[in-house]
Amino acid sequence: MSASSLDLTFAALADPTRRAILSMLLEDDMAVTDVAEPFEMSLAAISKHLAILAHAGLIAQEKRGRVKWCKLEPDALRAASVWMQGFGQFEPIHLDEFEAFLARELDGADTQGG
Amino acid sequence: MSASSLDLTFAALADPTRRAILSMLLEDDMAVTDVAEPFEMSLAAISKHLAILAHAGLIAQEKRGRVKWCKLEPDALRAASVWMQGFGQFEPIHLDEFEAFLARELDGADTQGG
DNA sequence: GCAATCGTCAACCATTTGGTTGAATATGGG
DNA sequence: CCCATATTCAACCAAATGGTTGACGATTGC
């Protein structure tokens, strides 16, 4: 209970399905059903994942009509990013690296059956 | 099983005790017993936490004599940092922010009873 | 109005997680 | 050698996690 913001953020990011969802939302806002479409799990499971992401502040959900739109809230990553960079004091990061990651992650995260 | 590197990293970081341990190791290498000292949980519990951090590559453990030394491996954070920054494209991060975080985290992570 | 669509809720289940305790395995020192 | 120290192992436990299914409440459109 009452886990810290960092707890929630890192825990949310620890699941590959949730990271894949964030990657999808990076391209465009999506309805819950559309988020669920590429995954092999039930809509209810995706709905739970989205609730976890929303609770961590990583996405915002807005209901318009019967459709609930999900959009990325990248600012929520800043706190965690601050935390991590404080340790590493890394050189600047290049987009290439990030895109390589996304490619590797998406190549498998959408076929997880359990 | 066979969780990805990012899975392991983020999952390891999701626990406040483990983040507190990393913060401690930021200042100096430490023996397992000394790592455990400020916490209210058993040595075995800390030993498990350290194993999780080591498995995620966030620390290295080297046994010299009967003492097992733990040291930070900040490079392991780079992959996760790359991932996160790709989303946020944040402005440069200042050490002040990080230190503020550490202060807030340490002010409570060592009194968690369960 | 009524059926179809969108999404969540509730109950359930298996597995993982984070902790405990007590015994066991090094290792070091008098 | 024998005892203390340092750490892990093994068994156990409660609670959390990630999934399922079926029923349910909203909303839309014919």
In a domain, A90, yes or no: yes
Residues in contact with B104: Cβ distance below 8 Å, sequence separation at least 6, in sequence order? none
In a domain, B85, yes or no: yes
Region of poorest pLDDT, from A38-42, A55-59, A61-65, B98-102: B98-102
Beta strand pairing call for B59-64 and B67-72: antiparallel
- Rounded average pLDDT over B48-74: 96
Partner residue opposite A81 with nearest CB, options B10, B84, B105: B84
pLDDT at B81: 84
pLDDT band at B77 (very low <50, low <70, confident <90, very high): confident
Strand C bases with any atom < 7 A from protein Cβ: 5-10, 16-23, 26-28
CB contact under 8 A, B10 and A13: yes
- The percent of residues above 90 in pLDDT, for chain A, comes to 58
Tell me which chain A residues have a C-beta less than 8 angstroms from the C-beta of B80: 13, 84
pLDDT at B114: 29
What is the identity of the amino acid at B21? I
Looking up residue B22, the CATH number of its domain turns out to be: 1.10.10.10
CA B94 → CA B13, B90, B100, B105, distances in Å?
Answer: 20, 11, 10, 17
Q: Please name the nucleotide lying closest to B65, CA to C1'.
A: C27
In a domain, A92, yes or no: yes
Contact A20, A65 (CB under 8 A): no
- The percent of residues above 90 in pLDDT, for chain B, comes to 59
Highest-scoring range by mean pLDDT, A4-8, A24-28, A59-63, A71-75:
A59-63
How many other C-beta atoms are found inside a 10 Å radius of the C-beta of residue B73? 19
What is the identity of the amino acid at A105? E
In a domain, A85, yes or no: yes
Q: Count how many domains chain B has.
A: 1
Q: What is the DSSP string of A25-73?
A: HHH--EEHHHHHTTSSS-HHHHHHHHHHHHHTTSEEEEEETTEEEEEE-
How many other C-beta atoms are found inside a 10 Å radius of the C-beta of residue A77? 25
pLDDT at A34: 98
A47 CB inside 7 Å of strand C: yes
pLDDT band at B93 (very low <50, low <70, confident <90, very high): low
- Say which residue, B100 or A114, is predicted with more confidence: B100
In a domain, A114, yes or no: no
Contact A32, A68 (CB under 8 A): yes
pLDDT at A78: 82
B31 CB inside 7 Å of strand C: no
State the distance between the two ends of chain A, measured CA to CA, in whole angstroms. 26
Coil/strand/helix, residue B63: strand
Partner residue opposite A85 with nearest CB, options B19, B75, B93: B93
In a domain, B114, yes or no: no
Taking the alpha carbons of A94, A99, A100, A106 in that order, is the dihedral positive or negative?
positive
pLDDT at B22: 95
CA of B105 vs C1' of D6, distance in Å? Answer: 28
In a domain, B113, yes or no: no
CB contact under 8 A, A101 and B79: yes
CB contact under 8 A, A98 and B85: yes
Q: What domain range includes position B74?
A: 5-108
In a domain, A56, yes or no: yes
pLDDT at A105: 55
pLDDT at A50: 98
- Rounded average pLDDT over B52-76: 95
